[in-house]
Each structure stands twice: as C-alpha cells, then as structure tokens.
Structure 1
C-alpha cells in the first residue's frame, strides 16, 4: 500500500480521536457550551482533515484523469443517483432483518444523537452531509476496499471494508445497516471506477436523512420507521 494511504488513515484516525482533547478544551477552558464545543471542534478538525486527505490523494486524482477505462461524467451522475436509492433500499432491508429476526428496536441512537446536536447547532450538519461522505469514502472504499480488491476478490474486500466502516460508526447494534451501506458504496466504486460516485451518493443519502429527520422528534422518527417497516413487511407476506 502506498505510503500516502497510511498518512490518510492516520489523519482520519487522529481527527476522530482529537475530539477527546479538543472538545473538553473548548467546553471546559474556553467556556463554550457543550453543543457548540462539539460542533466547532468537529467542523474545524474535519475541515483540516479533508484538505489534508484530498492533498494526499492528488496523485490518484491526476492518474484517474488519464485512465482509458474511466467512466464518463454522465455514467457517474446516473450511478450516483441510482446509488442513493440502492443505499436506502439496502438500509431498509437491513433494518427489517434487525427488527424482525434479531428483535433490535428501530432507530439508530448514533443518528439520533447527531440530529440532536444538529438541531441545536445547524452548522454541525456540515459533518454528515459534506465531511463524512468525503473522508469515509476515501478511507473505506478508495484505500481499504480498493487495496484489498486489488489483491483478493470482491467478496472478501467488501466484507472487511464494510465491517470496518460499520465499526467506525460506534453503533454496533445496527452494524448490519452500516454494513449494507458499505456494500452498496463499494459496488458503485467498482461499477464506475471512480470514488466520486460513492461520495456523491453518500452525500445525497445523508442529506436526505438529515432533512427528513431535522424537524421531527426521536419519538416521531421511531413511530414513522415502525409504520414503514409494517407496510414493507406486509408487502412480503
């Protein structure tokens, strides 16, 4: 694996861990409110991390422009749009399996917590809508999946990268949901041979989730999810 990929991984992990120091400094020493401290540090640290990661990825971007098998802009756009629906469908099926087979309650606590922060501090929305899709797709699809796919088969590469992708969301109860998304985004990357496709699809999907949940309470969201799963389950029976 190229040395720059290790630097990309280190940058991402360091950014995740930096909140353990940065947030307490803003909250405890500088007097920011807890939500503002989380928002300011998250946006600031991920802005810096995204710039560093994109800079490190510049040789790959230049190489992609000269590849003969690169996808056209039209194909990337079409698969980016299709990818949103594929990801939402896969997420819905995974949620159905979690609820009906494993008895896991609907609704992700991780998503709920992020949305609570976003409602109090709208600037935080930049994290799931912009920074997370860019950094996560580069790390989990371009670097981890991409390097494994070169050496092994698609199945093993997507299995490992999607499991790691789910683990980094620290919501192990809904691991299957994150895993299903990882599979879809890996498929989009392979299908178009461009990391832009899963990034755009990931951005669009997160934007849809954020906008659909921004104006609702946790109880409203849980109720809607349960009603939707009842309708979908009824359609299969």
Structure 2
C-alpha cells in the first residue's frame, strides 16, 4: 500500500502547490473587478487539471500505468449489465443523499456550475484524471498487493475520502466500488471513464437545470425505488460476474 499512499500524497501535494498560487492570482483578478464566480471556476479548474496532469506524468515515469490500461474488449451483455449496475447504484446514492443530508462544501464555496470552466473540470477533466489515477494506478497497485475484494474496498475508501466533501464521500465510495470492480474485471480505465463522465454530466446538468428540484419529493416513490434497487442489485451483480467470468474463460 506504500506506493498507493505515496502516489496519493503526491497528488495532494501537487494540488496544494498548484492551487494556492492560482487562488492568489484569482483574488487579484477579483480585486481588479473580474466576476468572482467565473474567476473561481477558472482557477479551480486549472488547478485540478495541472495537478492531475503532473500526477499522471509521475505515475507514468514510475511505470504505474501501461498502454493496455487504455484498451478494452467488452461484449454487449457485459456493457448492459454494467450499465444497469451503474443505474441501480445511482438511484441508491440519490435516495441516500436526499434522506441523509450531509454538509456540502459547495454550498459555502458558492460554486457556479454554469461556468464553462467548472463544467469542463467536472465533466471532462475529473472523469479522465480520476480514473487514470485512482483506478489505472492506485487500484492496480493495490491489486498487486491484496486480494481483489480488499483492494477494491480500500481504493473506494480512498476515492471517497479524497473528495474532502462530506456530501460526496458516501456516493464516491459506492461508485468507487463499481469502478474498482470494473477495472479489476477489464484491466482498462476506459469503461470507468465513460461511466464517470455520465455520472458527473447528469449531476452537473441536474444542478444547473433543476437546482433545488433535483430530488425525489415523493416518499412512496423513493421507498419503491429503494426496495426495487436493493432487490435487483444482487441479481444483476451475479449475472455481471458470470458474464465477465465467461469472457475470461473464452477470450
């Protein structure tokens, strides 16, 4: 786990080294008269992009990633089961967030989700960068040291905690379990990037177009969805496991 933690520490360090100066530059622009939300979105997005790029370069130099991490070969049935799993978890996370509200740092940061820079960072930069770092490198390193279940759980915990936002941690952990399992089964970051993109795009789109209405107000509907998802999830996961196992037996 030492290599995984070291890589994570480098990522946090790079984020601070890049983020602090950019924040200071942003403050200067705000004093001059530029729109606060727009400047904040640009500096934050730049900080994320630069720190992510540096971390990926560091991991590449350490040979933590290979070209094979960007190739994949999934059958239609594997894609179908994986997407259904994703939808079921998305529903469960949404219901949890509504009925177990946790502090959200975005509320006091006054993040402008309509900013082009924020959208690019959340929908494009984050899915690509986080999947390469957390699945393509951290999960891979953990799989070399631990059994798959333990490695996937640890990587999901790291992924959840690293968001540093109580409102995001449970959802990030759950979705991290799926993405970690998907990487273990495919040894590719591409499926995770695609699902991560969909997840963030829906979240940002909901924040922009629905705002306060982005919730399930009907408790009967919420309970029905919860029960249906919990009943269906184990069955779909078992079918997905079998689909991927067959693919490993007959390449």
Place the TM-score, normalised by the shorter chain, in its bin: 0.7 to 0.9
Shift of 1:129: 0.8
TM-superposition CA deviations, 1:152-182 (whole Å, max 9, x none): 1122212221111111112225533221101
Superimposed CA distance per residue, residues 62-110 of structure 1 (whole angstroms, 9 cap, x where no aligned partner)? 8444xxxx896441887567545423422322454576xxx613x8835
Aligned equivalent of 2:35, options 25, 33, 36: 33
Which one is further off, 166-175 or 147-156? 166-175
2:100 paired residue number: 104
1:75 aligns with 2:74: yes
Q: How many residues align?
A: 227
Cα distance in 2, alignment partners of residues 123 and 174 from structure 1: 20
Alpha carbons of structure 1 residues 4 and 161: separation in structure 2 relative to 1, 3 Å = closer
Q: Alignment partner for residue 213 of structure 1, among 204, 207, 229?
A: 207
Match of 1:152 among 122, 146, 154: 146
Q: 1:83 to 1:14 in 2, by over 3 A?
A: farther
Quote the residue 2:242 is aligned against. Answer: none
Q: Tell me which of 165, 175, 186 is aligned to 1:181.
A: 175
Deviations 1:27-69 (A, max 9, x none): 245633321222111222233334434444557598444xxxx
Bigger Cα displacement from structure 2, 25-34 vs 227-236? 227-236
User: Quick check: 13-22 or 71-80, which moved more?
Assistant: 71-80
TM-score normalized by structure 1? 0.73
Q: Superposition pairs for residues 46-57 of structure 1, below 5 Å?
A: 46-57=48-59
2:214 match: secondary structure:
helix
Q: Within 2, Cα distance between the matches of 1:126 and 1:76?
A: 30
Separation in structure 1 between the aligned mates of residue 23 and residue 217 of structure 2, nearest angstrom = 33
Matched, 1:87 2:86: yes
**Aligned partners of 1:114, 1:79: CA distance in 2, in Å?**
40
Question: Residue 47 of structure 1: SS of its match in structure 2?
Answer: helix
Q: Does 1:131 align with 2:131?
A: no
Unaligned runs of 5+ in 1: none
Gaps of at least 5 residues in structure 2 are 232-251
Question: Which residue does 2:247 correspond to in 1?
Answer: none
Measure, in 2, the Cα distance between the counterparts of 1:227 and 1:114.
33
* TM-score using structure 2 length: 0.70
Aligned-CA RMSD value: 3.9
